[in-house]
Chain A
Amino acid sequence: MSLETPVFEGPVYGVAVDQGSGLEAAIREARGASAREDDLLTFKRIVVETLSPEATTLLVDSTFGRELLPSYDAACTKMLAFEADVYKITDEERITALPENLEVSDFPGLGAKVLKFFLYYGPNDPAELNQRKFDLVADVGQRCRDAGVSFLFEPIVYDRDLPDGTSKEFAMAKPELVRAATKSFADPRFGVDILKVEIPVNFNYVDGVGSSVMTHAAAEEAFLAAAEAAGDIPLLYLSAGVTYEQFRDALAFGKAAGVKALGFMCGRAIWSDAIGIYGASGPEAMAEWMQSTGRERLSGLKAAIA
């Protein structure tokens, strides 16, 4: 695994705020009667303005990207998602909806050096479906190369036979699912510059942290095996909805196990608590919280992986 990329020199302490309709609904619910049409944009702008001075890179979505990219701190690398709505996966095959209002070739003009593309991937899905997903990822990768943009790909694993992603059964299967996905998309034919991957272990089932389904040693082995599957492609870990403390501890666990990750991309683990503050007390209170607690959390994650 490499710790250098064409776009980043040194470790990557990334923040993600590319969520779409799911985040919008959560903010609307938190705001209640005070909800405004521009709440989602305001929320994202606060994240960008408070955290981009401290982050190596910050990820925004295609819908609000043009609006938000000019607000970045000058030293923060601009990363833009190439999805119509990251959570809007409506079909059985779980293929990401592509935007029509954003070209890959637009990225350089927008100052976005990294394109992030996300796809649900089930290693145990039918080969025909996965071939289509491979073709899709390869197509996006080729467009990135043509446009001179770095390609960050994020596979999120699932298994149709284990629909409950929080279950013990899925926790036991997850290390192999993440390893297999990492291995598949590290293949040079996809043109992936950076892989953004899940923590391969659900710590709710690791001995000493949660229930004793997986031993400490097995969890370490899961981290190492999944990381080694990346070959020369650098890895960023994503927080995938866990709490700040869980994500911080998971990063530290991986480092202690011997994983040399490029860094992390953290979204909800940093700012999910800000949704309630925004809802109850408005944008200024959220900005204050982000300036203090949000930045502290980002620092805590940096320390965990440094």
Chain B
Amino acid sequence: MLDGFVSAYPQVKRGVLDPRVIVRDANAKNPDEKVTLLIGNGSGHEPIAMGFVGQGLLDANVVGDVFAAPSADLILDGIAEVTGKAGSILLISQHSGDMINGRGATMMAQDEGIKVLPLPMYDDISAAPPERKHDRRGAPGTMFIYKILGAAAEAGMALEPLFALGEAVRDRIVTLAAAVSPGVSPLTGKPMFTLPEDEIFLGMGVHGEPGVGRVKVGPVKDLVRLMVDKLLADRPIAKGGRACVIINGMGGTTMMEQLTIWNETRAYLGEQGIAGIAPMIGSYVTTQEMGGFSISLMEPTEEMLSLWCAPSDTPAFPNIQFSQED
């Protein structure tokens, strides 16, 4: 897979210290002057995160085996590969294995005098209640953090304020997923869960982790309303506010369906007096052919919105569009 990836896209190449580290190629900036961003994760969910390496986004992605956290050693290679005097931030999508190895790699790097800060990312409201939000899993809403920090780093923001910005963005993100059909696990060759044809799993994790409950299949409008209600109950947005939106397909959901979901999301947010803006719509965090989608909301500051919509050049991250008329 990695051979195909690096041969297809000029924005990326393999790392020198380890070929399982994908690093930015075209227009890479001097790491002594620019804070670098990287993340380690298991494969099996492409295009995230290797597809987001490039200008205005990530400087490296450390690629593990399918559904397995990359080792601390491998992550350390990634950190060492891209970190200069300006320092780096290791983004960690919160899963037990990724956290353990990410933290281990950070400690080893710091012992070697490398300036790196780990930033755990979590947004899945089904994994824990608001008072324990730091126990939540990383879900597609973490892409807000990738992009906003990537754009800010590209613009020259220093390490400490960049890290603080990451925490601030994290506090503003909520995600909820709905799965309608399983994908076949590449590890077992079996469907990752079973579900009656007339039911939907709410809160399904990206690997088929248990959700918060099942609901009966109904009109997509009703499902979207239920999900948005839960998201806004978890992190309210006042009337007159704005929400940037990610509609992520899990792999087996068509763009036609995702656009319908976006439209229903936007309409229902509008009914609540909230403007749904600057959407990112597509299958960016996938699990084989799993049918389903997630909705992520972020109430942006002006700075966050500007960075969310800033241009980037990576193999897979889209250009986010926003006009004041939205």
What residues make up the interface of A, taking CB atoms closer than 8 Å to B?
37-38, 41, 63-64, 66-67, 82, 84-85, 88, 91, 93, 95, 97-106, 109-110, 132, 135-136, 139-140, 143
Query: Are B96 and A98 closer than 8 Å at their CB atoms?
Result: yes
B103 interfacial contact with A, CB 8 Å: yes
Chain B 30-59: CB-based contact to A (< 8 A → 1; otherwise 0): 000000000001100000000000000000
Chain B residue nearest to A132 (CB atoms) is: B104
Query: Are A99 and B210 closer than 8 Å at their CB atoms?
Result: no
Which residues of chain A come closer than 8 Å to B137, judged between CB atoms? 103
Give the bracket for the number of chain B residues in contact with chain A.
Answer: 20 to 34
Query: A102-B96, A103-B209, A136-B104 given as contacts; is B71 within 8 A of A97 (CB)?
Result: yes
Which residues of chain A come closer than 8 Å to B72, judged between CB atoms? 95, 132
28 A-B pairs with CB atoms under 8 Å apart are A37-B189, A38-B189, A41-B188, A41-B189, A63-B185, A66-B192, A66-B193, A84-B65, A84-B97, A88-B65, A91-B73, A95-B73, A97-B68, A97-B69, A98-B68, A98-B69, A98-B101, A100-B42, A100-B98, A100-B207, A101-B209, A102-B97, A102-B209, A103-B209, A105-B96, A105-B135, A110-B210, A132-B72
Which residues of chain A come closer than 8 Å to B209, judged between CB atoms? 101-103, 106
B281 to chain A, nearest CB (A): 25
Query: Are A63 and B41 closer than 8 Å at their CB atoms?
Result: no
Query: Are B190 and A67 closer than 8 Å at their CB atoms?
Result: yes
Query: Which of these, B41, B96, B103, B190, contacts A103 with CB under 8 Å?
Result: B96
Query: Are B68 and A99 closer than 8 Å at their CB atoms?
Result: yes
B20 to chain A, nearest CB (A): 11
A274 to chain B, nearest CB (A): 20
- What is the CA–CA distance of A66 and B96 in the complex, to the nearest angstrom? 17
Which residues of chain B come closer than 8 Å to A110, judged between CB atoms? 210
Query: Are A136 and B189 closer than 8 Å at their CB atoms?
Result: no
Query: Are A66 and B208 closer than 8 Å at their CB atoms?
Result: yes
- What is the CA–CA distance of A100 and B49 in the complex, to the nearest angstrom? 14
Query: Which of these, B67, B108, B127, B210, contacts A84 with CB under 8 Å?
Result: B67
Query: Are B69 and A84 closer than 8 Å at their CB atoms?
Result: yes
- What is the CA–CA distance of A37 and B96 in the complex, to the nearest angstrom? 29
Query: Are B73 and A93 closer than 8 Å at their CB atoms?
Result: yes
Chain B residue nearest to A146 (CB atoms) is: B135
Query: Are B208 and A101 closer than 8 Å at their CB atoms?
Result: yes
B64 interfacial contact with A, CB 8 Å: yes
Chain B residue nearest to A63 (CB atoms) is: B187
B100 interfacial contact with A, CB 8 Å: yes
Starting from the known contacts A102-B97, A132-B108, A135-B107, 9 additional A-B residue pairs (CB-CB under 8 Å) come to A41-B190, A67-B188, A85-B65, A97-B68, A98-B69, A100-B42, A100-B68, A101-B42, A103-B137
Chain B residue nearest to A82 (CB atoms) is: B96
Which residues of chain A come closer than 8 Å to B100, judged between CB atoms? 98, 136, 139-140, 143
Which residues of chain A come closer than 8 Å to B127, judged between CB atoms? 105
- What is the CA–CA distance of A38 and B65 in the complex, to the nearest angstrom? 20
Which residues of chain A come closer than 8 Å to B193, judged between CB atoms? 66
Query: Are A99 and B190 closer than 8 Å at their CB atoms?
Result: no
- What is the CA–CA distance of A110 and B205 in the complex, to the nearest angstrom? 14
Which residues of chain A come closer than 8 Å to B64, judged between CB atoms? 97, 100
Query: A98-B69, A98-B100, A132-B72 given as contacts; is B210 within 8 A of A103 (CB)?
Result: no
Chain B 120-145: CB-based contact to A (< 8 A → 1; otherwise 0): 00000001000000010100000000
B14 interfacial contact with A, CB 8 Å: no
Query: Are A98 and B73 closer than 8 Å at their CB atoms?
Result: no
A304 to chain B, nearest CB (A): 35
Which residues of chain B come closer than 8 Å to A101, judged between CB atoms? 42, 67, 207-209
- What is the CA–CA distance of A109 and B205 in the complex, to the nearest angstrom? 14
Most A CB within 10 A of own CB, among B68, B104, B108, B135: B68
Query: Which of these, A41, A99, A135, contacts B69 with CB under 8 Å?
Result: A99
Most B CB within 10 A of own CB, among A66, A93, A135: A66
Query: Which of these, A85, A93, A100, contacts B95 with CB under 8 Å?
Result: A100
Which residues of chain B come closer than 8 Å to A41, judged between CB atoms? 188-190
Most B CB within 10 A of own CB, among A41, A84, A104, A132: A84
B255 to chain A, nearest CB (A): 26
Query: A91-B73, A132-B108 given as contacts; is B188 within 8 A of A64 (CB)?
Result: yes
Which residues of chain A come closer than 8 Å to B108, judged between CB atoms? 132
- What is the CA–CA distance of A104 and B209 in the complex, to the nearest angstrom? 12
B173-213 with Cβ < 8 A to chain A: 185, 187-190, 192-193, 207-210
Query: Which of these, B67, B73, B192, contacts A99 with CB under 8 Å?
Result: B67
- What is the CA–CA distance of A38 and B188 in the complex, to the nearest angstrom? 7
- What is the CA–CA distance of A122 and B316 in the complex, to the nearest angstrom? 44
Query: Which of these, A100, A102, A105, contacts B41 with CB under 8 Å?
Result: A100
Query: Are B68 and A106 closer than 8 Å at their CB atoms?
Result: no
Most A CB within 10 A of own CB, among B98, B192, B209, B210: B209
Chain B residue nearest to A99 (CB atoms) is: B97
Query: Are A135 and B96 closer than 8 Å at their CB atoms?
Result: no
- What is the CA–CA distance of A290 and B96 in the complex, to the nearest angstrom? 35
- What is the CA–CA distance of A64 and B185 in the complex, to the nearest angstrom? 10
Which residues of chain A come closer than 8 Å to B41, judged between CB atoms? 100
Query: Are A84 and B107 closer than 8 Å at their CB atoms?
Result: no
A45 to chain B, nearest CB (A): 11
Query: Are A97 and B96 closer than 8 Å at their CB atoms?
Result: no
Which residues of chain A come closer than 8 Å to B187, judged between CB atoms? 63
Chain B residue nearest to A90 (CB atoms) is: B71
A24 to chain B, nearest CB (A): 10
Which residues of chain B come closer than 8 Å to A93, judged between CB atoms? 73
Which residues of chain B come closer than 8 Å to A97, judged between CB atoms? 64-65, 68-69, 71
Chain B 68-104: CB-based contact to A (< 8 A → 1; otherwise 0): 1101110000000000000000000001111011011
